[in-house]
Amino acid sequence: MYNDNPTIAFEPKKIDESKQGDVYFDEFNKDPNAKHFYIESYGCQMNFSDSEIVASILSKAGYAPTRNMEESDLILINTCSIREKAEANVRQRLHIFNKLKKTKPAVLVGVLGCMAERLKTKFLEEEKIVDIVVGPDAYRDLPNLIAGAEEGDRGINVLLSREETYADISPLRLASNGISGFISIMRGCDNMCSFCVVPFTRGRERSRNPFTIVAEATDLVNRGFKEVTLLGQNVDSFKWENPETKEIVNFAQLLEMVALIHPDLRVRFSTSHPKDITDEVLHTIAKHENLCNYIHLPVQSGNSRVLKLMNRTYDRKWYEERVEAIYRIIPDCAISSDFITGFCTETEEEHQDSLSIIRQSKYTMSYMFFYSERPGTLAARKYEDDIPLAVKKRRLAEVVQVQSEVSHQHNLNDVGKTFKILVEGDSKKSDQDFKGRTGTNKMTIFKKKPGVKPGDYVFVKVTGTTSATLLGEIIEQ
C-alpha cells in the first residue's frame, strides 16, 4: 500500500480516443493565461486520492495541471510520515524544487499531507523554500493560502477536523488510465497502534455518507471505468449513521451497495484491520462475483507479545482465526499483509514467529519494512528502540526471502488455471503484451489478441510464472 518513491500524480497517459474514462489534459489548459500547478504524491493510496481532491479544488480556483515542473507556477508535494525514509525523500525533492525556484523566484512551493501535519510550523522554519504547509483536513483552504503566498505571506493550515470527508468534491482523475479509480470512503484512524503516526496526522475516524460514495462510483461507471478501490485507513470500521432515521450503514452493507451498481464494475478495498473484519463482510464478498477475492490484512508481527507492544488489539490466535474464516468462507481468496521487523525488544524467537505466520497464512505478497521510530508515537514515548539497525535489516531480509518463496509457490499453484482479467493496458516490457490483474490482485502478462482493448474483460489461462507475476494467454470461454 505504501510507496517511498515520488510519483507525479497527474502525469498524462497516451490517449486512446476509444477510452471513455480518460481525461484530456488539454481540457484543463484552454485558457492561455491560466496558472499551472504540478503535484507529486508519496506514500499510501489515500495520498494519491487526496491529490485528486486537491486538483479539483485548484481547478475551480483557476489553476490548470501540468506534468512539466518547469512551467508550473505552483509546486505541491503530498507527503507521507509513515517512515523516516519517506520523509527523507521529501526533503531531497525540496532541494530539487529549490533549484527551480532560484531560476523562477515567483514559483510557489507547498507541502501537503501527513508530513505537513506532523511538523507544522517547524516545516516553515526548517525548509525556507516552502511557502505553504497544509494538513490533510485543510485542502479547502488552499486557494486562500496561495493568494496570501502570492503577496509574500508564508501560510499554514494544519487544523484537524472531526467532520471533513470532502464528500462533495468530485476528484479530478488526471492520473487515471480511465479504467481504475480510487474512492475515499472514510478518513482518519482510531486504532492508536504504538508505532503509527496516522492518528496524529489524519485525525479521528469519520465515514462518508454512503450515498455520496455510490454516486461517485456510479459516475465512474458512466464514464467507462471498470474498477474502483474503496479506501480508508481501516475500511472495516466504516460506520455511517443517518442523522434523521438513525439507521446504520456498515462496511458490509456499503460493499453490497457498490457491488450492485453494475455487474461489470470490479470492487476492491484497502486496508482491513484484523480486529474489525467480520464474517458479514466475508459473506458479502462471497455473494457477489464482482467483489474481488482479495483482502489486505496487515499482521505486522507473528508474535503475540510484540503485537501487544504494538497495541494491535489482537493476538496471534485471533489473527489465525480471521485467516481461517477468510479461507473457509471465500476458498479462492488471496490475502496479503504488512510486516515490521525489529520492533522494540523483539527477540530472535519472536522474529521466527513472523516467518512462520507467512508460511501458515500463505500470503500472496506483503509490504515489509524494518522498524523506524516515529516522533510523537506511543512507542517513541514508552519503548527504547533497542534493536541494532544491522539486526533489523537482517531480519527484514529473512522476511522478504520467506515471503518470496511463499509468493512463488502461490503463483505456481495457479499454473493451468483460468482467470477473468480486466485488461489495464500495455505491459511495461513489451507493447506486444497486455497486463491486467486477477480478482486475487495478481498481475498477469499475456499476448495481445485482435479486438481486445484496455477496459475489456478476458479469460486468461496461466501458462507460467515468475516470482511476482503470472504469465498466460487469452482463451475463449
Query: What CATH number is attached to the domain comprising 322?
Result: 3.80.30.20
Whether residues 444 and 359 share a domain: the answer is: no
Taking alpha carbons only, the member of 430, 446, 441 closest to residue 468 is 441
Taking alpha carbons only, the member of 386, 390, 403, 297 closest to residue 343 is 386
d(CA 90, CA 289): 41
- pLDDT per position as a tens digit, 165-194: 999 999 998 767 889 999 999 999 999 999
pLDDT recorded at residue 204: 92
Domain encompassing residue 449? 418-475
d(CA 214, CA 411): 34
pLDDT band at 12 (very low <50, low <70, confident <90, very high): very low
Take residue 364 and report the three cell numbers written for it: 500472496
| pTM score | 0.88
How far is CA 433 from each of CA 180, 417, 453, rounded to the nearest angstrom?
Answer: 19, 19, 11
Residue 167 lies in a domain: no
pLDDT band at 4 (very low <50, low <70, confident <90, very high): very low
Comparing 315 with 17, which gets the higher pLDDT?
315
Whether residues 425 and 380 share a domain: the answer is: no
Residue 107 lies in a domain: yes
Whether residues 372 and 443 share a domain: the answer is: no
The amino acid at 362? K
Instruction: With a cut of 50, say whether residue 16 has pLDDT above it.
Output: no
Taking alpha carbons only, the member of 2, 12, 4, 72 closest to residue 36 is 72
Instruction: With a cut of 70, say whether residue 68 has pLDDT above it.
Output: yes
d(CA 375, CA 160): 18
By residue count, the chain amounts to 477
Mean local confidence (pLDDT), 454-470: 94
Whether residues 383 and 435 share a domain: the answer is: no
Whether residues 470 and 437 share a domain: the answer is: yes
pLDDT recorded at residue 29: 53
Whether residues 32 and 93 share a domain: the answer is: yes
CATH number of the domain at 434, please.
2.40.50.140
Q: What are phi and psi of 141, to 5 degrees?
A: -85, 0
Q: How many CB atoms lie within 10 A of CB 445?
A: 19
Of 371, 386, 410, the last residue of a domain is: 410
- CA 435, 471, 407: angle at the middle one, nearest 5? 100
pLDDT recorded at residue 28: 54
DSSP string covering 232-264: -TTGGG-EEE-TTT--EEEHHHHHHHHHTT-TT
- pLDDT per position as a tens digit, 364-385: 999 999 999 998 899 999 999 9
Whether residues 92 and 190 share a domain: the answer is: no
Whether residues 201 and 340 share a domain: the answer is: yes
- pLDDT per position as a tens digit, 108-158: 999 999 999 998 888 888 888 899 999 999 999 999 999 999 999 999 999
User: What is the number of domains present in the chain?
Assistant: 3
- CA 40, 42, 48: angle at the middle one, nearest 5? 75
Q: What does the DSSP 8-state code read for residue 23?
A: P
Whether residues 306 and 368 share a domain: the answer is: yes
Whether residues 123 and 218 share a domain: the answer is: no
Collapsing DSSP to helix, strand or coil, 380 comes out as: helix
pLDDT band at 73 (very low <50, low <70, confident <90, very high): very high
Residue 162 lies in a domain: no
pLDDT recorded at residue 30: 55
Residue 164 lies in a domain: no
Whether residues 119 and 221 share a domain: the answer is: no
Mean local confidence (pLDDT), 405-426: 96
| Cα–chain center distance at 403 | 21
CATH number of the domain at 12, please.
3.40.50.2300
- pLDDT per position as a tens digit, 202-253: 999 999 999 999 999 999 999 999 999 999 999 999 999 999 999 999 999 9
| 10 within 8 A of 65, measured Cβ to Cβ | yes
Residue 356 lies in a domain: yes
Whether residues 402 and 426 share a domain: the answer is: no
d(CA 111, CA 272): 28
pLDDT recorded at residue 127: 82
Residue 362 lies in a domain: yes
| Cα–chain center distance at 256 | 22
Most confident of 5-19, 79-93, 437-451: 437-451
Q: What sign does the CA torsion over 305, 310, 314, 319 have?
A: negative
